[in-house]
Structure 1
Amino acid sequence: MGKKRPHIVIFNPDQMRTDALGHMGENPGAVTPFLDRFAAQDAVSYRYAFCQNPVCTPSRCSFFTGLYPHVHGHRTMRYMLHRHESSLLSELKNAGYYVWMNTRNDLLAGQDEELFAMHASEIFYGGDVLPAPGPVNPDLRGKPGSKYFYSHYKGELKTDERGLNYSPDDEAVDAAVARLKNPVNEKPMCIFLGLIFPHPPYRVEEPYYSLIDRRKVKPRIPEAVPEDGKPLFHRKIRENQQLQDFTEEDWRELRAVYYGMCAKVDAQFERLCRGLKEAGIYDDTAIFFLSDHGDYTGDYGIVEKAQNMMEDCLTRVPFLIKPPKDFRVDAGISDELVELVDFYATAMAMAGVKPDHTHFGKDLSENLRDRKMPVREFVCCEGGRNAEEIHCDEYHDDAKEPDIMGEYYPRQKLQTDPVAHGKATMIRTKEYKYVRRIYEEDEFYDLNAGCETTCTHEHTAERNANECFTKDAQERKNRIHEPEYQTEISVLKEKLLDWYQKTCDVVPFEKDDRHSAEMIRQAVKHICPPEHWAEVEDMIRNRQGNLFEIRRYCEGLAAGMAQKE
């Protein structure tokens, strides 16, 4: 009997930033006590984990396949996996896993009703509980022109008579726990739990609403100024979102609510792990906690996300791994650079399942055993569209203008601008970040350099101006034209070119025949002795050899017959 395969649990919050994790020590306002203990005792938490696309669907299509978005064109919210594409879920299912998933999808093409059954044994649809109560202040958004109108800020949510705001996320978490406690069969389980939180709108109930100390929340990155050399998107999205009347107190409140949403995610994850322990399978389970991408949350005066922007607040995400008990783990924070495609490689390795396609993920097992083991020299992320790819925006599918009353109008309208929405690709090391842009000037940031001594950045009492002289982790100063960085820029350009060449396509494992059965039949019909034709016909029909092999076989038969004569 072979080694027992571990259960696999994938806990996937949507749009969660790395600085929402308290144990990273980057944000005094972050409250994630369970994830902090989880990282300290049982798991490795990656400080420098990066997604491969800064929006939902392309990121999920990437980390569930181990492929970069450019390989099969998964760069939009409306192009998902199709029948010819496998995923971690379908591969585990084919290898004997019982795969459970909820309907926070953003992965599989919804128009194909049979596709879900190829990737999952059971799908939890939910919707069996009453809708959770709405905001305490339902009229907060106001009318067009209000400072809240495009802010996505909803604030405090109401609670029901039980003191709960029981959301679809809560229902899915409890359903996953119930399935873990009551398995359908003896198969190892794979649970994919995709959450809505902390995706905007920014809203959360008590006790999480008041849990975040507004005074401790990490100050936001100020708006870019022309001297910063940031892309057109920054100016255009601020014009569209119309948040110029937000005060620093307003921004702190919005950010506190976002981090409160992350605190609720922490509590939901604790509930799942507690369920695993109550089911007696926590030790036998490999647990992966990862977000698909981050969120601006007021940084640079912007809310939500963007398809082609590459700041760390969007591309750097929580990624924690707990192996099963028979795997020695060096628990704590790893400072190695990793990508979310590494999730695919690591989960497949832990499950003992051989991938059915080429992929670009790295198995993190060695780093999980020793956090000092090197993983990647650099990480990459990509997004945006070519000018002619108007179908890549989210509203031209319906041949109409975006709805000005919709909260996503500012971003969706901007997607119709081919420059602001143009293709971009990031390559990042620990020290530097280079972004190649197809229609605008490229970007280059020295993440360890200080700003100029004539720094014009707005500093508050909470943000010490001396920060500017220690590092540019805020990515405020685009140094693409500064002479002293041209060597580093050239090196990253060369590495980016190598990366694209190595990953630009994949050859399927299946090999095609150059000749059809009829081609082979016609080529050998006058060579094969008639008394052996039935045998050769079976070989042709069952593909027991190619044209050249069957021809040689027939020639051998003919030679043997000639010798007998």
Structure 2
Amino acid sequence: MADTHVRPNVLFVLTDQERYDVSAPDGPPVKTDAMDALSSDGMRFTRAFTPISICSSARASLLTGQFPHGHGMLNNCHEADAIRANLPSDVPTFSELLAENGYDCTYTGKWHVGRDRTPEEYGFSYLGGSDTHHDDIDEAFEEYRRERGVPLGSVDLEEVLYTGDDPRDDDGTFVAAKTSIDVEATRAWFLAERTIEAIEAHADDGGEFDGVDGDGPFFHRADFYGPHHPYVVPEPYASMYDPSEIESPASYAETFDGKPRVHENYLAYRGVADFDWELWAEAVAKYWGFVTLIDDQLGRILEALEEHGLADETVVVHASDHGDFVGGHRQFNKGPLMYDDTYRIPLQVRWPGVVDPGSVCEHPVHLHDLAPTFLELADVAAPETFDARSLVPLLEGDEDGHGRDGSGRDDGDWPDSVFAQYHGDEFGLYSQRMVRTARYKYVYNGPDVDELYDLEADSGELQNLIDHPDYERVRREMRKRLIEWMDETADPNRGWVPDVLLRASRDGG
């Protein structure tokens, strides 16, 4: 157990649609000094995954410690086809429990877990920074921009890229651009500034912020609106990475042979069917620049912790709600394609005095495992509704991963696989389930062909081995694992999907 006599502060930085590889040591040449520092000073997780690759659903899972089928937010809440417009008020969240147990909880930036219910209804004091697309909670950033003489919507953009037949025509989806504003006028800078002001107030160092009383411990959540598209960045980030020097990933060789039909359909749906690598490299360069812009803001936040004497008593966590294709498998954004591009996420944790600096955890973990983790750090029991495990045993260096579930019960050794799902987005409902081990990934696609990948032989997930005779044993084992996950998590589809899978196995499928 964590030291119950000293409850640490927690600074949680969540990015939006950040790929795992951009901050990985063996990833592309993206400058991520602050994230690298968290890894060198703390623990880096190599196999962290989102339970679902869509914003509202993943963020609701993070709050509730449940898989999406548990909390019911199956797709994005702002869309016309939203299954639920808000997270139900009777579902327990880690933030409410922290607030009830003495934590001063503050929040800046993206929310996207409801149209009407905001962080204020879940134990947080909201300090501003929302945008009007996903959330319309406050006007703080809009006022900030007006004061700087660059109102929102008034700035000319260069190097603009859109989806569709003409990549320079704004009839398509806005992908990327260079903006003429200075760094201090970006939303990323503003969110970091608000977070720094909150740190000052939490430190009782003369800072003032409504909802912050300076009494510890605190939990602050900083949610950046990026590197989600549109990848709009100012100099020096706009030209930091040369598109001509960016190599295409292995998955760019995608042919869609043997894949579910929806994969190729998504090229046209997203408007990128005619994108060549030259266009994708342009988008990737801006995406990388966006990552570095946010990383620099994280660096400013970490410096503030040091300056105010809070670094040694604050657990710092960086993660993302899910990843981004950015040309991987020739795709844009995300969707019913359960590749690592969008399901594998970065996760770094610095816990001074507890986590060994430079440690690496290879145990598979879920994003929503952070919910019981935050509660255990605070010496607060997680509710029975949580379907996640606290990461504290892993952070404390338990090599066997002998962990506790969300309620603190001894739950045996750490699982050797992760479970994920997808329920569709504006393209239409499309039920999927996925189980992934260190080597294999199996995807159940209800209305189409299933998928099986040997990640050791095919890291780009290009060859679907679902019908390969040499993988019959693997196919059976992975289907069995999926059934076990569905049973363990009370997945409503367990009423009929297991029968389908077992019958397919008996029939040689």
- Normalised-by-shorter TM-score class: 0.7 to 0.9
Aligned-partner residue type, residue 194 of structure 1: D
- SS of 1:444's partner is strand
Return 30-39 or 353-362, whichever deviates more.
353-362
Unpaired segments ≥5 residues, structure 2: 78-83, 129-137, 146-150, 203-212, 402-413, 493-509
TM alignment of 1:51-450, pairs within 5 A: 51-78=50-77, 79=84, 80-107=86-113, 109-112=114-117, 116-124=120-128, 125=138, 126-127=140-141, 128-130=143-145, 131=151, 134=155, 136-137=157-158, 141=162, 145-148=165-168, 149-150=171-172, 152-159=174-181, 163-164=182-183, 166-183=185-202, 184-214=213-243, 216-220=245-249, 221-222=251-252, 224-227=254-257, 229-306=258-335, 308-323=336-351, 325-370=352-397, 372-374=399-401, 375-385=414-424, 393=425, 412=426, 415-416=427-428, 421-448=429-456
- SS of 1:155's partner is strand
Please report how far the alpha carbon of residue 309 of structure 1 lies from its aligned counterpart in structure 2 after TM superposition. Answer: 1.9
- Relative to structure 1, the CA distance from residue 174 to residue 68 in structure 2 (aligned partners, 3 Å threshold; closer, same or farther) is same
Please report how far the alpha carbon of residue 250 of structure 1 lies from its aligned counterpart in structure 2 after TM superposition. Answer: 1.9
Separation in structure 2 between the aligned mates of residue 106 and residue 199 of structure 1, nearest angstrom: 13
- Relative to structure 1, the CA distance from residue 494 to residue 141 in structure 2 (aligned partners, 3 Å threshold; closer, same or farther) is closer
Query: TM-score, normalising length from structure 1?
Result: 0.73
Q: Percent identity?
A: 23
Separation in structure 2 between the aligned mates of residue 338 and residue 350 of structure 1, nearest angstrom: 17
Please report how far the alpha carbon of residue 382 of structure 1 lies from its aligned counterpart in structure 2 after TM superposition. Answer: 0.4
Separation in structure 2 between the aligned mates of residue 138 and residue 165 of structure 1, nearest angstrom: 21
Equivalent in the alignment of 1:25: 26
- SS of 1:190's partner is strand
- Relative to structure 1, the CA distance from residue 218 to residue 312 in structure 2 (aligned partners, 3 Å threshold; closer, same or farther) is farther
- SS of 1:243's partner is coil
**Contact 1:11–1:289 (CA<8 Å) still a contact in 2?**
yes
Equivalent in the alignment of 2:489: 503
1:82-132: CA deviations, max 9, x gaps?
21012111110111111111241122x33247x724421344342231146
**Contact 1:31–1:212 (CA<8 Å) still a contact in 2?**
no
Separation in structure 2 between the aligned mates of residue 102 and residue 52 of structure 1, nearest angstrom: 23
CA-atom RMSD, angstroms?
2.4
Separation in structure 2 between the aligned mates of residue 83 and residue 243 of structure 1, nearest angstrom: 39
Aligned-partner residue type, residue 430 of structure 1: A
1:468-518: CA deviations, max 9, x gaps?
xxx211110111011111111111111111111111179xxxxxxxxxxxx
Please report how far the alpha carbon of residue 358 of structure 1 lies from its aligned counterpart in structure 2 after TM superposition. Answer: 3.0
Please report how far the alpha carbon of residue 165 of structure 1 lies from its aligned counterpart in structure 2 after TM superposition. Answer: 5.2
TM alignment of 1:549-560, pairs within 5 A: none
- Relative to structure 1, the CA distance from residue 216 to residue 99 in structure 2 (aligned partners, 3 Å threshold; closer, same or farther) is same
Equivalent in the alignment of 2:500: none
**Contact 1:44–1:334 (CA<8 Å) still a contact in 2?**
yes
Please report how far the alpha carbon of residue 440 of structure 1 lies from its aligned counterpart in structure 2 after TM superposition. Answer: 0.5
Equivalent in the alignment of 1:537: none
Query: TM-score, normalising length from structure 2?
Result: 0.81
Equivalent in the alignment of 2:504: none
- SS of 1:300's partner is helix
- SS of 1:186's partner is coil
1:451-484: CA deviations, max 9, x gaps?
xxxxxxxxxxxxxxxxxxxx21111011101111
Aligned-partner residue type, residue 330 of structure 2: G
Separation in structure 2 between the aligned mates of residue 24 and residue 236 of structure 1, nearest angstrom: 34
Please report how far the alpha carbon of residue 328 of structure 1 lies from its aligned counterpart in structure 2 after TM superposition. Answer: 4.0
1:198-250: CA deviations, max 9, x gaps?
000122111112222435535232253242x1222221121233434433222
Separation in structure 1 between the aligned mates of residue 26 and residue 120 of structure 2, nearest angstrom: 40
- Relative to structure 1, the CA distance from residue 203 to residue 332 in structure 2 (aligned partners, 3 Å threshold; closer, same or farther) is farther
**Contact 1:51–1:292 (CA<8 Å) still a contact in 2?**
yes
Please report how far the alpha carbon of residue 5 of structure 1 lies from its aligned counterpart in structure 2 after TM superposition. Answer: 1.5
**Contact 2:183–2:189 (CA<8 Å) still a contact in 1?**
no
Separation in structure 2 between the aligned mates of residue 180 and residue 483 of structure 1, nearest angstrom: 58
Separation in structure 2 between the aligned mates of residue 135 and residue 269 of structure 1, nearest angstrom: 27
- Relative to structure 1, the CA distance from residue 426 to residue 213 in structure 2 (aligned partners, 3 Å threshold; closer, same or farther) is same
- SS of 1:64's partner is helix
**Aligned residues between the structures:** 441
Separation in structure 2 between the aligned mates of residue 365 and residue 111 of structure 1, nearest angstrom: 34
Equivalent in the alignment of 1:16: 18
Separation in structure 2 between the aligned mates of residue 129 and residue 138 of structure 1, nearest angstrom: 26
- Relative to structure 1, the CA distance from residue 242 to residue 85 in structure 2 (aligned partners, 3 Å threshold; closer, same or farther) is closer
**Contact 2:4–2:379 (CA<8 Å) still a contact in 1?**
no
**Contact 1:46–1:319 (CA<8 Å) still a contact in 2?**
yes
1:512-554: CA deviations, max 9, x gaps?
xxxxxxxxxxxxxxxxxxxxxxxxxxxxxxxxxxxxxxxxxxx
**Contact 1:99–1:120 (CA<8 Å) still a contact in 2?**
yes
**Contact 2:51–2:366 (CA<8 Å) still a contact in 1?**
yes
Separation in structure 1 between the aligned mates of residue 162 and residue 476 of structure 2, nearest angstrom: 47
Separation in structure 2 between the aligned mates of residue 344 and residue 376 of structure 1, nearest angstrom: 17
Separation in structure 1 between the aligned mates of residue 122 and residue 69 of structure 2, nearest angstrom: 24
Separation in structure 1 between the aligned mates of residue 324 and residue 166 of structure 2, nearest angstrom: 22
Separation in structure 1 between the aligned mates of residue 370 and residue 161 of structure 2, nearest angstrom: 40
1:417-469: CA deviations, max 9, x gaps?
xxxx4100110001100001110111001112xxxxxxxxxxxxxxxxxxxxx
Separation in structure 1 between the aligned mates of residue 241 and residue 378 of structure 2, nearest angstrom: 38
**Contact 2:103–2:219 (CA<8 Å) still a contact in 1?**
yes
Aligned-partner residue type, residue 467 of structure 2: H
Please report how far the alpha carbon of residue 172 of structure 1 lies from its aligned counterpart in structure 2 after TM superposition. Answer: 1.9
Equivalent in the alignment of 1:527: none
Equivalent in the alignment of 2:499: none
**Which is bigger in relative contact order (C-alpha 8 A, separation at least 6)?**
2
Separation in structure 2 between the aligned mates of residue 2 and residue 443 of structure 1, nearest angstrom: 45
